[in-house]
Amino acid sequence: MTRQQVLAWLNERRPAPPPGLRAHLEAAVVDAPDPLPEHLARLGSDLLARVARHPAGGREVALDLLAADAFVTYAFEAQAEAAVTGLAGLAAQVAAEDAAAS
């Protein structure tokens, strides 16, 4: 998926995220060869890995954590739209990526 395709899909989501989170989501989106659900899940996992690299946490990682949650949620939404039968596979992918990140 191209960055523009992902941003267009995100733009259709309702309710729209708050402006600060929306800007953070948009900044994280890159081109990738993956289908939308997998791409969104990977973006979420990448942000979660960034949060995990800062175990002290704090406000400086709050937007990364919120964006990670949003991307994974959107990944499941995109998968449900594409084919509900793929939800279990996507869940396994997300679990494996999160396990590798920690």
**Where are the alpha helices (H) located in the chain, listed in sequence order?**
3-11, 19-28, 36-52, 62-82, 87-101
- Which residues form the domain of 82? 3-101
Share of the chain above pLDDT 90, in %: 81
Question: What confidence score (pLDDT) does residue 36 get?
Answer: 97
Give the confidence band of 102 by pLDDT, cuts at 50, 70, 90.
Answer: low
pLDDT tens digits, 1-48:
899 999 999 999 999 999 999 999 999 999 999 999 999 999 999 999
* Structure confidence at residue 58 (pLDDT): 83
The tally of domains found in the chain comes to 1
